[in-house]
């Protein structure tokens, strides 16, 4: 997977494909909410939004929301939306909760190299160049606009873990962490290490630990691990 000479590629779904999918589910629901990866990182939001507009021009039945997050950060947002739906909340209330959860969600990603994020446009080229030259192991997050940013660089992954632990402690000292989750790309040992560290720090186990999708793994690189948290 990390072989630069034989690295997989992917393509954006077409508006027509998205439209066909939405048409297959819309008739069975009173309303549909689509929560996409950050539009700063992917064209998915625009694709889905255009498909939704073709089907529902006035926007009464399909709501498309830019999560301003990626896979690991989207998970807690989608989970919260599902919980609100299960409670029988009105659409307006559910949408407000989704937007509030997006604002209160952060993600910290420990990666071995930035080259895959840079090549996919997930973060800016100059930060990748600096990390590559110095052979540093970056900690990546997402800013309020939904763009990938480097918030720390270490000489080794162990130091990265310490950096993320310090960030989590700083947040937990100021706010209540109501939930968190751990995702990884073929790095279950690192994910289990994170579970031990943050269960002790936060006082609760993660909502879940799971592997990220192949597309996200391609952009972040194999061996990465991330923690996403939601504050009150």
For the cut 60, the answer to whether the pLDDT of residue 5 exceeds it is no
What pLDDT does residue 207 have?
94
pLDDT mean over 126-130: 49
Tell me what percent of the residues of the chain surpass a pLDDT of 70: 83
Rg (Cα) of the chain, in Å, rounded? 18
What is the homologous superfamily of the domain 15-103 according to CATH? Dihydroxyacetone kinase; domain 1 (3.40.50.10440)
Spatial CA neighbour of 65 closest among 124, 141, 146 = 146
CATH assignment of 105-231, among 3.30.930.10, 3.30.1180.10, 3.40.50.1370, 1.10.260.40: 3.30.1180.10
What residue ranges do the domains of the chain occupy? 15-103, 105-231
For the cut 50, the answer to whether the pLDDT of residue 123 exceeds it is yes
Q: Calculate the average pLDDT of the chain.
A: 86
pLDDT single digits (tens) 49-72: 999 999 987 778 999 999 999 888
Q: Which residues contact 33 (CB under 8 A, 6 or more apart)?
A: 62, 63, 65, 81, 94, 95, 98
Of the listed ranges 105-114, 133-142, 149-158, the one predicted with least confidence? 133-142
What pLDDT does residue 115 have?
66
C-alpha span between 15 and 30 (Å, rounded): 22
Grade residue 6 by pLDDT with cuts at 50, 70 and 90: low
């Amino acid at each position: 997977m990390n072989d630069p000479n034989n690295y997989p590629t992917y393509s954006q779904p077409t508006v027509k494909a998205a439209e066909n999918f939405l048409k297959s589910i819309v008739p069975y629901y009173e309303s549909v909410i689509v929560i996409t990866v950050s539009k700063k990182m992917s064209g998915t939001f625009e694709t889905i939004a255009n498909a939704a507009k073709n089907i529902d021009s006035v926007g009464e039945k399909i709501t498309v929301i830019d999560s301003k997050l990626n896979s690991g950060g989207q998970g807690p947002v989608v989970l919260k939306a599902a919980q609100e739906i299960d409670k029988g909340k009105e659409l307006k209330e559910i949408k407000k909760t989704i937007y509030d959860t997006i604002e209160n969600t952060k993600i910290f990603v420990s990666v071995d190299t930035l080259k895959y994020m840079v090549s996919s446009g997930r973060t800016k080229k100059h930060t990748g160049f600096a990390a590559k030259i110095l052979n540093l192991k970056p900690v990546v997050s997402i800013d309020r606009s939904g763009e990938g940013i480097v918030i720390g660089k270490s000489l080794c992954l162990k130091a990265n873990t310490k950096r993320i632990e310090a960030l989590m402690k700083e947040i937990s000292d100021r706010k209540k962490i109501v939930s968190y989750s751990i995702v990884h790309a073929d790095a279950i040992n690192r994910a289990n290490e994170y579970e031990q560290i943050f269960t002790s720090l936060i006082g609760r186990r993660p909502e879940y630990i799971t592997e990220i999708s192949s597309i996200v793994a391609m952009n972040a690189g194999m061996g990465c691990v991330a923690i996403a948290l939601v504050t009150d």
